[in-house]
Structure 1
Amino acid sequence: MSDIDIISKYREQFVTHLQTRTKLGKPKNLYEPVQYILGLGGKRMRPVLTLMTAEAFGGKAEDALDAALAVEMFHNFSLVHDDIMDDAPLRRGKTTVHEKWDVNTGILSGDAMLILSYQFFENYPAEIYFELTKLFSKTALEVCEGQQYDVDFETRDDVTIPEYLKMIEYKTSVLVAAAMKMGAIVAQASQKDADAIYEFGRNLGIAFQLQDDYLDAFGDPKTFGKQVGGDIMENKKTYLYLKSLEKASKDDQDGLLHLYSIKPDDSTAKVEAVKTIFKESGAVDETKKAIQDFTQKAFDALAKTDLPEKNKALLKQFGKSLMERTV
């Protein structure tokens, strides 16, 4: 079986479980939006990682399905509320929940999703239930903290690179890390292995987000799922932007600050001017290096586990395929 086939197998297994476990009742205006957002698809990367990790540590994927569902339900809850905060009209190419229904429905359905996430742990034995919910609560709070940092950074001109890395760690990568550690917990792996696989996921998640920052500016419009240059148009202070401010000449720094203070009607010229500064300052090379560094940290953590070599190889290949993506 190729790596793609294995990931597809886990994804299909998960989606089947999702459909049987989320046949929700009334009132329909509470539960329909839940089924709608869960039905929009997406890569299902986090639940796939939970199942894959459980099997890598000698457990059964079936036993990890409810933990995987909790992770996916929480992830989608955060998207519903993020979309309200961003006033976003589209999610995965379809109308967002608050646009399709209304803001109040989006808030309430999101709240219900958070509670449902916790209910999926209830079928586990007491000791595993405790470990899963403890990790889940810590992670959920960190995701909220990451979102708040992101909001705060919009109005700050003094964001540092360590602060930015902490923000993407909390907003994005801790959920990837927790998804993997949950698989290890369900498989009753040792504490050492569970912690090491968490570090693998955490570092891979940071590398993944930095790659996303890079692709947003320099990805291929034909394969990148979003509008290329979107972060620049929105004046988002990404790693590329922060590194440019750190390394560019004084003129380029001033030029970048000016470009990020305006929202022109036609943003094509702005995007190209910013990308030129990103390249000439050396920020592009620095970003690529950071992606490699965090990927290597992930692989170093994986090497510390007592996993069989073939299972390490599968997880490493998954990490590499994430980093080589163009979408």
Structure 2
Amino acid sequence: MTNPKSINQYRALFVSHLEGQIKLKEPENLYEPIIYILGLGGKRLRPVLTLMSAELFGSNTMNAMNAAMAVEMFHNFSLVHDDIMDDAPLRRGKTTVHEKWDINTGILSGDAMLIKSYQFFESYPLEVFKELTSLFSQTAIEVCEGQQYDVDFETREDVTILEYLKMIAYKTAVLVATAMKMGAIVANAPEKDADAIYDFGKNLGLAFQLQDDYLDAFGNPETFGKQVGGDIIENKKTFLFLKSLELGKKEQKEALMHLYSIKPEDSDTKVETVKTIFKESGAVEETKAAIHEYTERAFSALEMVNISKPNKLVLREFGKNLMGRTV
């Protein structure tokens, strides 16, 4: 068994492979936006998890590289389409694809990325191919369902915390879980271990998304890479918002409902007012507690995985580092 690599080593391996795979070809207006979005960087969290998971279960990184490419390609496809739906101006601190080109280009290049993500599985033996594509298709549908819930919630005033958690589980956490389980599948890990690593990834993904919600409101614009306060401007019913409604005083709830019913010219004042309500209602502390709870659930699932103690420690450290991020 080789010694596990650091996150940065996995990331460097993946980025090197990615750069070698992605080439500009005709028609350039289809492929240039794909190269652009894939080149914006980001944490490469999901492909790193696929490579790491495969290696911790006894395979090698190159064997898992196409599965990692599939998950990164799919993730970036979803970002291109989400940015169109959200009319987002920035992604990772740079202009979004539909703003840099146009909406039609964003739709078509995104479609091509979705198709290409499946092509990466074609290199695997039939049984592994079937397992990977079955898991991936289920996840892709759940991501779409999560996105639809997200859209629906914008116009609903009765969204519950449980519904919100289901939405972020589908929209974000299942892809993190799938990234890890694909590594286990590539390494021919026993089914119960593949399922346990999926649970680890799903709970870590929930903690990750709750932290993303928190950073969207309270992160540093220099390091966060997205528009801070974007969720508030878009009237997104995040965990912070729902907890404020649950815990806040009558006047806080009324102010929040009013602010979330408008799109004012002066969005800065709206963002600052809403953030004050988030803090004073106790929603910030509740959000931090939920982040901690899902991180602990992830670590409990990790205990069920039959890998060596040093390898478990690698994943535990990864989880801790992820939860200590500011970006």
Band the TM-score falls in, shorter-chain normalisation: over 0.9
2:184 paired residue number: 184
1:71 aligns with 2:71: yes
Give per-residue Cα distances to partners, 1:103-149, cap 9 Å, x unaligned: 22221211111111111001101111110000000001111111111
1:325 paired residue number: 325
Per the normalisation by structure 2, the TM-score is: 0.95
2:254 paired residue number: 254
Aligned partners of 1:194, 1:267: CA distance in 2, in Å?
45
SS in 2 for 1:204: helix
2:85 paired residue number: 85
2:11 paired residue number: 11
Aligned partners of 1:283, 1:252: CA distance in 2, in Å?
12
Aligned partners of 1:326, 1:96: CA distance in 2, in Å?
22
Per the normalisation by structure 1, the TM-score is: 0.95
Question: Which moves more between the two structures, 244-253 or 191-200?
Answer: 244-253
2:267 paired residue number: 267
1:219 paired residue number: 219
1:96 aligns with 2:109: no
2:50 paired residue number: 50
Aligned partners of 2:229, 2:99: CA distance in 1, in Å?
24
Change (3 A) 1:233 1:29: closer
Change (3 A) 1:99 1:276: closer
1:26 paired residue number: 26
SS in 2 for 1:261: coil
Which residue identity does 1:274 align to in structure 2?
Answer: V
| Within-5 A mapping of 1:131-170 | 131-170=131-170
Which residue identity does 2:11 align to in structure 1?
Answer: R
Aligned partners of 1:19, 1:222: CA distance in 2, in Å?
26
Q: Is the 8 A contact 2:174 2:205 kept in 1?
A: yes
Aligned partners of 1:232, 1:101: CA distance in 2, in Å?
26
| CA RMSD, 1 decimal | 1.7
Runs of 4+ off more than 6 Å: none
1:194 paired residue number: 194
Question: Which moves more between the two structures, 292-301 or 91-100?
Answer: 91-100
Shift of 1:24: 5.1
1:38 paired residue number: 38
1:62 paired residue number: 62
Shift of 1:6: 1.2
Give per-residue Cα distances to partners, 1:157-214, cap 9 Å, x unaligned: 1111111001111111111000000000001111010000000000000101101111
Which residue identity does 2:166 align to in structure 1?
Answer: K
Which residue identity does 1:114 align to in structure 2?
Answer: L
1:119 paired residue number: 119
Structure 1: gaps (5+ residues): none
Aligned partners of 2:53, 2:90: CA distance in 1, in Å?
32
Change (3 A) 1:45 1:115: same
Which residue identity does 1:116 align to in structure 2?
Answer: K
Question: Which moves more between the two structures, 92-101 or 231-240?
Answer: 92-101
Q: Is the 8 A contact 2:97 2:106 kept in 1?
A: yes
Aligned partners of 2:75, 2:102: CA distance in 1, in Å?
20
Question: Which moves more between the two structures, 242-251 or 130-139?
Answer: 242-251
Shift of 1:222: 4.2
Question: Which moves more between the two structures, 124-133 or 93-102?
Answer: 93-102
Change (3 A) 1:101 1:255: closer
Change (3 A) 1:24 1:220: closer
